[in-house]
Amino acid sequence: MTTSSAAPGGGSGSPIALSLFDRVSDYAEALETGTADIGKPLTDATPIVVFCQNFFAQLFQNVLNAPIRSIDARAKEQAATIRQQKSDDASAPLRRLLAVFEELCDEWQDVRGLSYVWYRHRALDEFHATLLPDLFEAITSWANAVDHQDLAQRSALAEAAYKKGLMALSARLAKA
């Protein structure tokens, strides 16, 4: 068990802890080995849930200085307000990241299985096929723009691992 460093990024200087991306690797491996079921809502401690919540918690706390306390309509409003205020060209990658967060807020209840069942499958499909790849791309793009190369590299690796896991899952489903 490791302990937290007081320095953002666990001492790497990154506003987002690089070790958080290990949760994406965990989820990618679960997809690849078949221990994750993307047809079922994601539970509290599913690694990708831990990643999404804590990535944005750290982004809002350490980059935007506007902490969030959940992923919901209130947090979406907060993100939209910040996005509208960041209107300069240099903030374009951050605006894209915030737009993905707003979409995540819309889908979160369904992805987590907290709302009515008839939305679940569409939301889960969108989450896995569209939203997560968009999120990794947006993180990489933003990290490059703010010159956090370690973070950009870690995000790109996470995206590759995730896509590999998803492809393995698709291949397995196609065979079945």
For the chain, the helix, strand and coil percentages under 3-state DSSP, each to the nearest 5: 75, 0, 25
| Binding-site member from 13, 33, 37, 72 for other proteins (CB under 8 A) | 72
The owner of tokens 């491996």 is 29
Asked whether 112 and 49 are in contact (CB, 8 A), the reply is yes
- Choose the stretch contacting other proteins; rule: CB under 8 A; options: 39-47, 97-105, 127-135, 143-151: 39-47
Q: How far is the CB of 157 from other proteins (least distance, A)?
A: 15
Q: How far is the CB of 135 from other proteins (least distance, A)?
A: 16
How many residues at the interface with other proteins, by CB under 8 A? 38
- Cα 141 to Cα 144: distance, rounded to the nearest angstrom: 5
- Cα 36 to Cα 26: distance, rounded to the nearest angstrom: 10
Q: Which of residues 100-159 bind other proteins (CB under 8 A)?
A: 114, 116-118
Q: Is 112 helix (H, G, I), strand (E, B) or coil?
A: coil
Contacting residues toward other proteins, per CB under 8 A: 1-6, 8-10, 15-17, 19-20, 22-23, 26, 43-47, 50, 53-54, 57-58, 61-62, 67, 69-70, 72, 74, 114, 116-118
